[in-house]
Amino acid sequence: MLYDNFLLQMLEFLKGKEDFIGQLLHHIGTSAIMDLLLRLITCIESPTVRKQCIDWLDEQNLIQKLVKHIHVTQTEEVGIS
């Protein structure tokens, strides 16, 4: 229960950050950021908190933004080669 409360507080903190998802994607090449994203999606044990987190990430269009970011990055790399 205490752990769930901590996770809820952390999630609310992240939600309150302006353009958190944009900043996350800006630094996605950093292994710690990739690990954070992976843990947000897969490692939250509480079903209630996990659902809230995944719903929030979905509302923020994480997948669409991630695909767009990867496409832009890949296009830039091809252009440089």
State whether the Cα torsion 13-42-1-32 is positive or negative: negative
pTM: 0.78
Q: Per-residue pLDDT for 80 more than 60?
A: no
Contact 12, 49 (CB under 8 A): no
pLDDT digits (tens, 9 = 90+) for 4-57: 889 899 999 999 999 999 999 999 889 999 999 999 889 888 898 999 999 999
Q: Give the other-Cβ count within 10 Å of 25's Cβ.
A: 19
